[in-house]
Amino acid sequence: MADEINSSNCNHDCSSCQASCGERKIEKAPMNALSNVKKVIAVMSGKGGVGKSLTTALLAVNARRAGKNVAILDADVTGPSIPTVFGIEGMAEGDGQNIYPLLSKTGIKVMSLNLLLEDRSDPVIWRGPVVAGLIEQFWSDCAYGDIDELYVDMPPGTSDVPLTVFQKLPVDAAVVVTSPQELVSQIVEKAVKMASMMDIKVLGVVENMSYLPCPHCGERIYPFGEPSSEVASAFGIPVYECLPLDPKLASLCDSGDIESHEGELLTALSEAISALR
């Protein structure tokens, strides 16, 4: 796919080309007839384990606390974790035409493959086109109702599913998540470049596991070195925020109680999302 996207042999005639790339004009998937989604925010990164689901959850919680109608589309099909983070049990139901998301404790609507599996430990061994088709179904067949902000928790990387989300969903902006290690930052730069190639605005970069808050004085300790906004600055990304390496946050995610977290994490980014027009 990298060869397709970066090919210098493109004649810019999409009608004669079967490749999927940022320049190719592909029709958006239709919104479900029972949905009215005003903003779609994709949360992405170049690799796994950097905190995309945590970032998605915190942004959704912030929006809900601000009185907004919020939904999460869990696009990480092979590693869905959003239902666990929000403590959502049970299975989503349908009426033959529509799928209905489940509600979190505070009323955030969630759609995830884990809500369609009888055994959530079953592995999803699907090829890319099948996974991409499921993401379209989560948009077109799921009845979200009236939603101010829908967050898409993306899988890691820059391949089939992120491409499907950017091409088929009306994404208003993306948030890119990284961690302090230099190698991870280099990989995240690929995600930033992909969003740019797909003409998607990157609203902010979140550096997760950036610091440790001292339990005694509250001073920040940087185990991986002082945070750097080089990636954000290089691409003119306006919002750059840091999340702590906090065992309390991890515990809340594991117990499905992220909505009870205290503090004001990612408030600047939430404000930037609210200001989108």
The CA distance from 112 to 135, in Å, is: 10
Residue 114 has a CB neighbour count (10 Å cut-off) of 24
The structure tokens listed for 98 are 């529509």
What does the mean pLDDT of the chain come to? 86
Beta carbons of 116 and 161 less than 8 angstroms apart = no
Predicted confidence band at 22 (pLDDT cuts at 50, 70, 90)? low
Q: CA angle, 114 as apex, 111 and 118 as ends, to 5°?
A: 125
The pLDDT value given to residue 4: 47
Mean pLDDT lowest among 2-6, 19-23, 145-149, 167-171: 2-6
Return the higher-pLDDT residue of 232 and 169. 169
The pLDDT value given to residue 129: 79
The pLDDT value given to residue 270: 97
With 0-12 / 13-18 / 19 or more C-beta atoms within 10 angstroms meaning exposed / middle / buried, residue 145 is middle
Predicted confidence band at 25 (pLDDT cuts at 50, 70, 90)? low
pLDDT, tens digit, for every residue of 114-168?
898 876 666 666 677 788 888 999 999 999 999 999 999 998 877 788 889 999 9
The pLDDT value given to residue 229: 76
In eight-state DSSP terms, residue 94 is E
Burial of 170-206, coded b for 16+ CB within 10 Å and e otherwise, reads ebbbbbbbbbbeeebbebbbebbbbbeebebebbbbb
- pTM, rounded to two decimals: 0.88
Which residues are registered as beta bridge partners of 173?
41
pLDDT, tens digit, for every residue of 180-237?
876 567 777 888 889 999 999 999 999 998 898 888 888 888 888 877 777 788 888 8
Which residues are registered as beta bridge partners of 233?
none
The pLDDT value given to residue 47: 79
Average pLDDT score over residue span 56-79 = 95
pLDDT for residue 52 is more than 60: yes
Return the higher-pLDDT residue of 263 and 84. 84
The CA distance from 36 to 21, in Å, is: 28
Beta carbons of 161 and 136 less than 8 angstroms apart = no
